């Protein structure tokens, strides 16, 4: 069974992404073989991922007022003794401020990349297939 964790503070985005990924991978993975969890902020994501490590975490970067997605990635990695969780970041901010530098650091430490919102389905599908070992998508950071 494959496990996905979607982390976003926007409930509409969480619900829509969950429904989309369920639909998109139902055929290729098989019914009951893909479990998708959701979390509404960074702290909840750390707790869930600690208890049930996902095969892939799709996580928003900016989730005020708590810790942001990058910080959650680092805390989880620390809890796992430096072992990162495969994480695909989503961001609506682009590279303003120091976000791009911090994303680059996270990718250096094991995150698989980031996508700008709104995410095209093809990009998302390719990244997920790549992370779950379902296809032959190319890597990019």
Partner 1 sequence: MRLIKVLPMLLTGMPCWSATSVISAPERSYVHRMWQIEDGLPQNTVTAVVRTRDGYLWVSTLGGLVRFDGAQFYQPPLSQEARGAFQRITGLMLDAAGTLWVATEGDGVWRMNARTHQVEQIPALRSTSVRSMVFDGRNRLWVATAEGTLKVLEGGEVRGPPAGVGLLDTTVLGLALDPKGTLWIGTGTGLWRAQNADLSDFERVRVIPSEQIWSIWPDGDGSVLAGGDGGHLWQLSGGTIQYLPEGAGTVTSVVRDRRGGVWTGTLDGLYLFTGEKWTRIGPQEGLEFVRFLYQDPDGDLWVGTNGAGLHLLREAAFRVYDRTDGLGSDQVLAVTEDRDGSILAGANCGPVGRVDRDRAEALTEIGPRDADCVWSLLRSSDGTLWIGTWGAGLLRAREGRTTTYGPESGFPDSVVVALFEDRKRAIWIGTISGGACRMIDGRLSRFRVEEGLPNNSVRCFAQDRGGTIWIGTDSGLATYRDGIISPHGGNSGLKSARVRSLYVDSDDLLWFGTYGGGLGLARDGRLDVLTAANGLLDDVVSWIGEDRLGFFWLTGNRGVYRIARRELLDYFEGRQTGVYPAAFGVADGLKTIECAGGFQPAGVVDRAGRIWVPTIRGLACVDPANIRTQRAPPASIDSILINGEIRREVANLTLPAGRYNMEFRYSGLDLVASDKLTFRHQLRGVDPDWVEAGSRRSASYASVPPGSYEFVAQSHGPATDWGMPSRTIEISVRDYTWKIWWVQLTAALTVAAAVYLLGKGRQVLLHRREMEKVEAARQLTAGILHEFRQPLQVVRTRLDILTVRGLPVEDASAALNELSALLENLERIQSLSDLRTKDYAAGDTIADLKGQREKR
* Interface with partner 1 (CB under 8 A): 10, 12-13, 16-17, 19-20, 23-24, 62, 90, 92-97, 100, 116-121
The Cα–Cα gap between 77 and 72 comes to 8
- Please provide the DSSP assignment of 36-96 as one string: EEEESSHHHHHHHHHHS--SEEEEES--TTS--HHHHHHHHHHHTTT-PPPEEEEESSTT-
- Between 26 and 80, name the residue whose CB sits nearer to partner 1: 26
Separation CA 72–CA 90 (nearest Å):
13
Is residue 38 within 8 A of residue 18, CB to CB? The reply is yes
Q: Kindly tell me which of 10 and 71 has the beta carbon lying closer to partner 1.
A: 10
Q: How far is the CB of 91 from partner 1 (least distance, A)?
A: 8
Q: Using the minimum distance from each CB to partner 1, give the nearer residue, 76 or 89.
A: 89
Nearest to 45 by CA among 61, 21, 23, 25: 61
**Residue with Cβ nearer partner 1 (28 or 50):** 28
Query: In the complex, what is the shortest distance from the CB of residue 63 to partner 1, in angstroms, rounded to a whole number?
Result: 11
Strands in 87-91's sheet, in edge-to-edge order, are 34-39, 2-7, 56-60, 87-91, 113-116
**Shortest spacing between CB 79 and partner 1, in angstroms:** 29
With respect to partner 1, which residue has the nearer C-beta, 44 or 60?
Answer: 60
């Amino acid at each position: 069974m494959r496990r996905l964790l979607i982390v976003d503070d926007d409930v509409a985005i969480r619900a829509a992404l969950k429904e989309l990924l369920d639909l998109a991978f139902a055929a290729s993975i098989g019914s009951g073989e893909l479990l998708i969890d959701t979390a509404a902020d960074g702290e909840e994501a750390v707790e869930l991922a600690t208890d049930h490590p996902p095969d892939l975490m799709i996580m928003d970067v900016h989730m005020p007022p708590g810790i942001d997605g990058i910080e959650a990635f680092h805390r989880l990695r620390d809890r796992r003794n430096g072992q990162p969780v495969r994480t695909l970041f989503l961001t609506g901010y682009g590279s303003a401020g120091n976000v791009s530098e911090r994303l680059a650091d996270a990718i250096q430490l094991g995150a698989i990349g980031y996508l700008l919102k709104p995410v095209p389905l093809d990009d998302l599908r390719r990244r997920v297939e790549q992370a779950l070992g379902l296809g032959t998508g190319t890597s990019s950071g």
